[in-house]
Amino acid sequence: MNRIEERFSRLRASGQKGLVVYIGAGDPNLAATHQLALEFDRAGVDVLELGVPFSDPLADGIVNQLAAQRGLASGTTPPRVLETVAAIRRDSQIPIVLYIYFNLLHRVGLARFIENAAAAGVDGLLILDLPPEEADDYERLMLAAGMCPVWLIAPTTPDSRIERIARRARGFIYYVSREGVTGMQSTVSTSIGEMTDRIRRHSPLPIAVGFGISNPAQAREVATHAEAIVVGSAIVNRIAEQGLDPSMPATVGAFVRSLSEAVRSVSTS
């Protein structure tokens, strides 16, 4: 049982919902990423998603695209992200997932990247553009390394494919609650409850719902339908506004704490 599985097992046993937070690694720099990870751990984050900067982040909206640009501009590379994860591990055991595009793994070599990520202390990978139908080698290498392959399910995913994805997933299933790219929204989707019920018919894994959750009220609402919620763009936007201000990690951490408190207020019973 790796850190992701252990964390969700603990949440289930305590009757609590979880909070998954996304930020762009290296935005505004990797020292800030390290600081933010520790702030988030103290704020009650259950899983940290680190977006590895890529030149063509096709699944991302403008907020996260700009974060990727800032990460690249700060000199962030996959090896330096893994160095940062290893440094975080000296102070924190917060579960960490890398949100990444397949080309970055292919460039290094699939086996080598997974081996290096596991050694650094990464707990799972979420590859945005790798179809599960083409993931046999990836899945085998991930399970051998003790890491969780996290898969996405969308509102348009048919039951036959939900079943196929559910068989391959480990740790949790990420339900993308809206069609399109990442980004903040003023309202949450009205079909979340229906879709999470459909997914549960195929898998006992925790479901984390993301794409568009922007504030504590929305976090609380979505948490009634899922085991965890995912917040990204609303946090990344605050990082962009504060930039290199020394108070940025604490300020962003306070916002994340408000999300954690909202999610914790929803009982699983």
Tell me the β-bridge partners of 230.
20
Segment 127-145 shows an average pLDDT of 95
Cα 12–chain centre separation:
19
pLDDT in tens, 56-88: 888 788 899 999 999 999 999 999 999 999 999
Q: What is the pLDDT of residue 181?
A: 44
The share of the chain scoring above pLDDT 90, in percent, equals 84
Domains of the chain, each with CATH number or no CATH: 3-13+21-264 (3.20.20.70)
- 133 catalytic, yes or no? no
- 179 catalytic, yes or no? no
What value does the mean pLDDT of the chain take?
Answer: 93
CA dist 51 → 54, 155, 165, 236 (Å): 9, 23, 22, 11
Residue among 49, 83, 91, 133 flagged as catalytic = 49
Q: How far apart are CA 117 and CA 139, in angstroms?
A: 14
End-to-end CA gap in the chain: 25
Residue among 39, 60, 123, 227 flagged as catalytic = 60
Q: How far apart are CA 99 and CA 135, in angstroms?
A: 16
Specify whether the CB–CB gap between 183 and 63 falls below 8 A. yes
pLDDT in tens, 168-214: 999 999 999 754 444 444 455 677 889 999 999 999 999 999 987 88
Q: What is the pLDDT of residue 61?
A: 83
pLDDT in tens, 146-173: 999 999 999 999 999 999 999 899 999 9
149 token code pair: 């392959």
